[in-house]
Amino acid sequence: MNDLRAGRETRLPRYNFKTHSRVREKIALTCKPMVLVDGLWLLHRRSLRRLFAVKIFIECPTRTRRGRRLLRDLRTRGRTRASILEQLKNTVEPMHERFVAPQRKWADIVVRKTVGAGEVRRLARQLREKLEALRSTHAENEA
């Protein structure tokens, strides 16, 4: 994140969930005016939260999270349905409630409902406004 904020390309590590290890190849990421970052733990650490101009937390219903996880792990991670459901019950859901859900308190925007076209437009408008404000601040600092 620091490289991207400084206008430098960075290389991101990749992880193989079937082998539970990092792979050798990395993904090159070039700096853009806006970088969207997705992840479960992005707001947990203060040092990481400080790197984001806008923080969005999406509250996803349990049923939706479970369905997506089940589908993903069956298709791409070589897991059995029984092992996924057991992990969801014993680990994933309790850890979500304990560590992931509380991160909403650090978000600038919390999406609490199904995201339709209107919500997407609202988020896009807020992001555009924030980007323009950042550009203005940057221009003032350069002058």
Residue with tokens 């997407």: 120
Same domain for 82 and 48? yes
Question: Does pTM surpass 0.85?
Answer: no
Same domain for 18 and 75? no
Question: In the beta sheet, which residues pair with residue 93?
Answer: none
Scored b (16 or more CB within 10 A) or e, 45-78 reads: eeeeeeebebbbbeebeeeebbeebeeebeeeee
Closest by CA to 74, choosing from 57, 91, 88, is 88
Confidence at residue 22, expressed as pLDDT on a 0 to 100 scale:
92
Confidence at residue 67, expressed as pLDDT on a 0 to 100 scale:
94
Same domain for 130 and 94? yes
Rg (CA), the chain: 18
- For the chain, the domain total comes to 2
Over its length of 143 residues, how does the chain's per-residue pLDDT go in tens digits? Answer: 888 888 899 999 998 877 889 999 999 988 887 788 888 899 999 999 998 888 999 998 899 999 999 999 999 888 999 999 999 999 999 999 999 999 999 998 888 877 788 888 988 888 888 888 877 877 777 76
CB 57 within 8 A of CB 110: yes
Confidence at residue 95, expressed as pLDDT on a 0 to 100 scale:
95
Same domain for 90 and 122? yes
d(CA 32, CA 136): 16
Same domain for 115 and 48? yes
Q: Which domain holds residue 43?
A: 38-142
Confidence at residue 128, expressed as pLDDT on a 0 to 100 scale:
86
